[in-house]
Amino acid sequence: MSEKKINVTLKVWRQKNANDQGRFETYDMKGVSTDMSFLEMFDVLNERLINEGKEPVAFDHDCREGICGMCSMYINGRPHGPLRGVTTCQLHMRSFNDGETIVVEPWRAKAFPVIKDLVVDRSAFDRVIAAGGFISVNTGNAQDGNTIPIPKENADKAFAAATCIGCGACVAACKNASAMLFVSAKVSQLALLPQGRVEATDRVLNMVAKMDEENFGNCTNTGACEAECPKGISLENIARMNREFLVANLKK
């Protein structure tokens, strides 16, 4: 069976740095294999631009396996593109139609300033984690850690929250650029486990304070974050973080 090829038109956001006004540039991509991933298609585009003596499009990528969360592209109005539960690197060109125009932008958020083209600075997430996403309990070696009794339901919820890869799709999907889903996932994965309860009060207060300091917006309660999250992080985590935050304030 011969591979299918399509022609698409790319409208890509180009921006030299955070201070540059930026603009869309149009590229015609002909004979694109539908077996290509979206990033492989960008590799082909950049090879062409380099051969033409032009500046290639800057975009983030690393593992290309849906693990690292770096491949953050806003595609046709949706973070990571038209499919649910996938990152941009897992998106393939068979998800698009022949002759289609594809608009590609960086994450749009005050807390994520553009570095260049499609690359944004997401170090705000790192600072939120540093504010409280750790434990100082000595859990011993692996065998000792496994002897701590944890209800399976809590362990499953903690693991589900820990699957968050910090890609920022939740922020990009939210009309207020809220980081509530990301922060709540990081709070939940520790709050649900006994090792994380020791610093639970300080953790939620510090992480929420840092989130606000980093200029993320308020939660819109529309659920767009959960719908666009490639790992399906549940809104239940936001409710849990709100409860943790209320209790922490009462304790303080």
Range of the domain at 226: 123-251
Q: Are 63 and 133 in a shared domain?
A: no
Q: Are 193 and 217 in a shared domain?
A: yes
| pLDDT mean over 123-143 | 85
SS3 of residue 37 by DSSP:
strand
Q: Beta-carbon neighbour count of residue 178 at 10 Å?
A: 25
Compute the distance between CA of residue 169 and CA of residue 171 in angstroms, rounded to an integer.
Answer: 5
- Token code pair at residue 190: 């520790």
Q: What is the pLDDT of residues 182-207, one digit of tens each?
A: 999 999 999 999 889 989 999 999 99
Q: Are 132 and 234 in a shared domain?
A: yes
Q: Which of 67, 90, 116 is the last residue of a domain?
A: 116
pLDDT given for residue 61 in this prediction: 95
pTM score over 0.95? no
Q: Are 145 and 225 in a shared domain?
A: yes
Tokens 């693990």: give the residue.
67
Tokens 């298609």: give the residue.
41
pLDDT given for residue 190 in this prediction: 94
- pLDDT of residue 142 exceeding 70: no
- The percentage of the chain sitting over the pLDDT mark of 70, rounded to a whole number, equals 96
- pLDDT of residue 246 exceeding 90: yes
Q: Are 105 and 134 in a shared domain?
A: no
pLDDT given for residue 6 in this prediction: 98
Q: Are 18 and 92 in a shared domain?
A: yes
| pLDDT mean over 73-97 | 97
Q: Which residue(s) pair with 114 in the sheet?
A: 120
User: What is the torsion angle, in degrees rounded to the nearest 10, for the CA atoms of residue 140, residue 128, residue 13 and residue 59?
Assistant: -20
Residue 143: pLDDT band with limits 50, 70, 90? low
CB 179 within 8 A of CB 211: yes
What are the angstrom distances between the C-alpha of 154 and each of 71, 190, 241, 248?
A: 31, 10, 15, 20
Q: Are 129 and 237 in a shared domain?
A: yes
Tokens 């958020």: give the residue.
109
The domain that holds 110 is classified in CATH as: 3.10.20.30
Compute the distance between CA of residue 114 and CA of residue 120 in angstroms, rounded to an integer.
Answer: 4
Provide the number of structural domains found in the chain: 2
Q: Which of 52, 85, 116 is the last residue of a domain?
A: 116
Residue 145: pLDDT band with limits 50, 70, 90? low
The mean pLDDT value of the chain amounts to 94
Q: Are 144 and 98 in a shared domain?
A: no
Q: Which of 68, 84, 116 is the last residue of a domain?
A: 116
DSSP 178: B
Amino acid at 22: G
Closest CA to 102 of 24, 16, 22: 24
Compute the distance between CA of residue 175 and CA of residue 226 in angstroms, rounded to an integer.
Answer: 13
Q: List, edge to edge, every strand of the sheet that includes 5-14.
A: 23-33, 5-14, 101-105, 74-75, 78-79
Q: Which residue(s) pair with 92 in the sheet?
A: 37
What are the angstrom distances between the C-alpha of 78 and each of 67, 75, 125, 156, 234?
A: 19, 5, 20, 29, 18
Q: Are 158 and 242 in a shared domain?
A: yes
SS3 of residue 132 by DSSP:
helix
